[in-house]
């Protein structure tokens, strides 16, 4: 009897392994569009997409003996997932929490799909090429489809570019165009990869293509006038330069002394006005507005330290319990414009601690990946991923690419790629052919 069942079990495991190898493709093509654009989807499709992620884990379990690939981020991610039902329970209106739940589940699913699928150098190369192509495409789409709001700082050259750019791309979910601040945040997080390959690619043709794509993306970031994104990208470039050569510390020192001299000459107030001055379309652009908003978020985290105010509830709770004095009640502010405060008000101090731990482990893996990839083809990818992480954290001090917006999924994709690269390099450390 046992001999008759063995072929069936072998066939089942083979089919399960084959489906598990397609996990990333299934997630990107079949699951992600449903959960990202849930407003346009029927309820059965959303339920099916949510069920698909644990189903894929179960299939992988049958095929390989484990539902997911173990990573150093498992514990922080587990805590973040455990805080999701707590955040839903704390929310006064559960319907406001649903989009956040969808994007968190999708992000975690994408992370483990990338960590599980990218186990070979060939797979890493393919996905890296796709990520670079997507980033280059994003820069072009930003130039042709962003709803520009010039006003934070005005220069004649920028005004001329605004006038010349054709508005020919309009996403179906926002007929007015891509949000400039959102686009700035996602560009700041992804451009370090293009810049790293523009510098580190081995073929001159690729260097040129990556350089052109980087220039287009940087222009789009500048036009977005996302000051957090611009500052994040600049600091990411500095960190990437230091990682490439310690002589770059001289540039950092010169820039630091120049910044101190500028602050001493102009004073802190003009600089803060340049960084935080309000745009014509922004409700909380000024420094005083931000400080007031951040103080309200701190009050929330103090009053609701364990559960937070609930997923998606910041704007509603802000209006009812912590009204702003500088911004009218008719303005809905969905997040506190700081990634750490957003985590605290959404999922409490436990969620914040888990998120900080996740970032610290990511920085460790990024630095180790750079060390392990020296003199190999993975060097530009390792440096670019470190820059992406730096840009995300720096931009997160001024804005928040969290689960209330669609680009939050890109963050999980980047950390999934970082984790897969580190696991691959660590596995190849004592083997020959690391660059293959």
Rounded to whole angstroms, how far apart are CA atoms 226 and 338? 14
More confident residue, 283 or 136: 136
Name which of 72-86, 135-149, 420-434 the model is least confident about: 420-434
Burial level of 66, CB count in 10 A (0-12/13-18/19+)? exposed
Q: Is the pLDDT of residue 26 over 70?
A: yes
419 pLDDT tier (thresholds 50, 70, 90): very high
Q: Is the pLDDT of residue 92 over 50?
A: yes
**Contact residues for 412 (Cβ-Cβ < 8 A; gap 6+):** 106, 107, 108, 110, 111
For the entire predicted model, the pTM comes to 0.88
Rounded to whole angstroms, how far apart are CA atoms 309 and 306? 9
Q: What is the CA radius of gyration of the chain?
A: 23
- CA-to-CA dists, residue 7 to 58, 65, 100, angstroms: 21, 18, 44
**Residues 393-402: what's their mean pLDDT?**
82
Tens of pLDDT, residues 230-262: 999 999 999 998 887 777 777 667 766 666 676
**Contact residues for 82 (Cβ-Cβ < 8 A; gap 6+):** none
- Angle 423-192-212 from CA coordinates, rounded to 5°: 125
**Contact residues for 219 (Cβ-Cβ < 8 A; gap 6+):** 139, 143, 161
80, 351 contact by CB (below 8 A): yes
Tens of pLDDT, residues 9-20: 778 787 888 888
Q: Which two tokens stand for residue 252?
A: 């950092």
- Angle 290-291-297 from CA coordinates, rounded to 5°: 90
pLDDT at position 435 is: 46
**Residues 205-231: what's their mean pLDDT?**
88
- Angle 227-285-281 from CA coordinates, rounded to 5°: 100
Q: How many residues does the chain have?
A: 436
Q: Is the pLDDT of residue 181 over 50?
A: yes
Q: Is the pLDDT of residue 118 over 60?
A: yes
Query: In which region does residue 335 sit, left (phi positive, over 0), alpha (psi from -120 to 50) or beta (all else)?
Result: beta
Nearest to 339 by CA among 320, 358, 355: 355
Tens of pLDDT, residues 332-374: 788 888 899 999 999 899 999 999 999 999 999 999 999 999 8
**Residues 143-169: what's their mean pLDDT?**
73
Q: Is the pLDDT of residue 135 over 70?
A: yes
Q: Which two tokens stand for residue 404?
A: 């209330």
124 pLDDT tier (thresholds 50, 70, 90): very high
pLDDT at position 152 is: 60
Q: Which two tokens stand for residue 346?
A: 């959404």
- Angle 122-21-59 from CA coordinates, rounded to 5°: 160
Instruction: Map the chain to HEC letters.
Output: CHHHHHHHHHHHHHHHHHHHHCHHHHHHHHHHHHHHCHHHCCHHHHHHHHHHHHHHHHHHHHHHCCCCCCCCCHHHHHHHHHHHHHHHHHCCCHHHHHHHHHHHHHHHHHHHHHHHHCCCHHHHHHHHHHHHHHHHHHHHHHHHHEECCCCCCCCHHHHHHHHHCCCCCCCCCCCCCEEHHHHHHHHHHHHHHHHHHHHHCCCHHHHHHHHHHHHHHHHHHHHHCCHHHHHHHHHHHHHHHHHHCCCHHHHHHHHHHHHHHHHHHHCHHHHHHHHHCCCCCCCCCCHHHHHHHHHHHHHHHHHCCCCCCCCCCHHHHHHHHCCCCCCCCCCCCCCCCCHHHHHHHHHHHHHHHHHHHHHHHHHHHHHHHHHHCCCCCCHHHHHHHHHHHHHHHHHCCCCCCCCCCCCHHHHHHHHHHHHHHHHHHHHHCCCCCCCC
């Amino acid at each position: 009897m046992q001999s008759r069942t063995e072929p069936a079990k072998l066939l089942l495991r083979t089919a399960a392994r084959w489906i598990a190898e397609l996990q990333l493709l299934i997630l990107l093509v079949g699951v992600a569009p449903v959960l990202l654009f849930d407003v346009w989807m029927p309820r059965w499709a959303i339920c099916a997409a949510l069920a698909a992620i644990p189903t894929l884990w179960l299939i992988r379990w049958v095929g390989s003996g484990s539902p997911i690939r173990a990573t150093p981020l498992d514990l922080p991610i587990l805590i973040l997932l455990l805080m999701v039902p707590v955040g839903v329970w704390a929310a006064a209106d559960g319907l406001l929490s649903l989009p956040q739940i969808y994007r968190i589940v999708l992000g975690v699913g994408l992370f483990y799909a990338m960590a599980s699928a990218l186990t070979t150098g060939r797979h890493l190369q393919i996905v890296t090429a796709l990520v670079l192509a997507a980033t280059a495409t994003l820069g072009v789409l930003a130039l042709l489809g962003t709803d520009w709001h010039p006003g934070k700082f005005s220069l004649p050259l920028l005004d001329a570019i605004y006038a010349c750019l054709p508005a020919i791309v309009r996403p179906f979910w926002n007929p007015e165009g891509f949000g400039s601040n959102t686009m700035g945040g996602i560009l700041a997080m992804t451009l370090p990869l293009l810049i790293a390959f523009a510098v580190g690619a081995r073929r001159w043709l690729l260097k040129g293509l990556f350089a052109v794509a980087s220039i287009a993306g940087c222009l789009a970031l500048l036009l977005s006038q996302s000051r957090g994104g611009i500052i994040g990208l600049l600091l990411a470039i500095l960190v990437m330069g230091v990682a490439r050569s310690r002589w770059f510390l001289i540039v950092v020192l010169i820039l630091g002394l120049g910044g101190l001299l500028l602050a001493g000459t102009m004073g802190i107030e003009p600089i803060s006005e340049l960084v935080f001055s309000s745009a014509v379309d922004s409700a909380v652009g000024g420094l005083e507005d931000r400080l007031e908003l951040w103080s309200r978020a701190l009050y929330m985290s103090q009053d609701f330290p364990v559960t937070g105010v609930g997923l998606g509830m910041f704007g509603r709770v802000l209006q009812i319990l912590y009204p702003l004095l500088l911004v009218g009640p008719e303005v809905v502010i969905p997040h506190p414009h700081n990634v750490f405060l957003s985590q605290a008000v959404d999922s409490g101090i436990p969620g914040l601690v888990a998120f900080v731990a996740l970032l610290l482990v990511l920085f460790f893996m990024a630095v180790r990946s750079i060390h392990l990839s020296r003199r190999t083809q993975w060097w530009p990818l390792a440096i670019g991923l470190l820059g992406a992480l730096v840009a995300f954290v720096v931009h997160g001090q001024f804005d928040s690419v969290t689960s209330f917006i669609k680009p939050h999924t890109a963050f999980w994709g980047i950390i999934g790629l970082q984790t897969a690269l580190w696991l691959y390099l660590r596995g190849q450390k004592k083997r020959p052919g690391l660059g293959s």
